[in-house]
């Protein structure tokens, strides 16, 4: 059995009928659902920069208090 390649649109690993969501070339099994590692990295970068968002209600970001009690003081054995 042969290993899928990074050949993209015309390579042996190409999946007919499926298109890369980034560049619209046919997908390659090794990088599914993308055509290459480059397109997969572009997509990951979009998630990291919050270009993609999952719809939902807005959440307020609040600073959490440190664990271990009020005031953040530690007992010094004694």
Q: What is the CATH number of the domain that holds 25?
A: 3.30.50.10
């993209």: which residue's tokens? 8
Q: Which pLDDT band holds residue 3 (cuts at 50, 70, 90)?
A: very low
Give the SS3 label for residue 42: helix
Residue 66 domain flag:
no
Residue 59 domain flag:
no
Tell which wins on pLDDT, 61 or 20.
20
Inform me whether the pLDDT recorded for 31 exceeds 80.
Answer: yes
Range of the domain at 28: 15-52
What pLDDT digit, counting tens, does each position of 52-74 carry?
A: 888 888 878 777 766 665 555 55
pTM of the full structure: 0.53
How many domains, the chain? 1
* pLDDT score for 6: 46
CA dihedral angle for residue 22, residue 23, residue 27, residue 28, rounded to 10 degrees: -90
Query: Smallest Cα–Cα separation from 52: which of 65, 43, 61?
Result: 43
């Amino acid at each position: 059995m042969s290993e899928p390649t990074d050949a993209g649109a015309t390579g042996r690993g190409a999946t007919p009928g499926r298109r890369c969501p980034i560049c619209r070339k046919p997908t390659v099994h090794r990088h599914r659902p993308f055509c290459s590692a480059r397109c997969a990295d572009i997509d990951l970068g979009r998630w990291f920069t919050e270009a993609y968002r999952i719809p939902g209600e807005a959440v307020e970001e609040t600073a959490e208090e440190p664990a271990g009690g009020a005031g953040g003081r530690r007992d010094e054995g004694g």
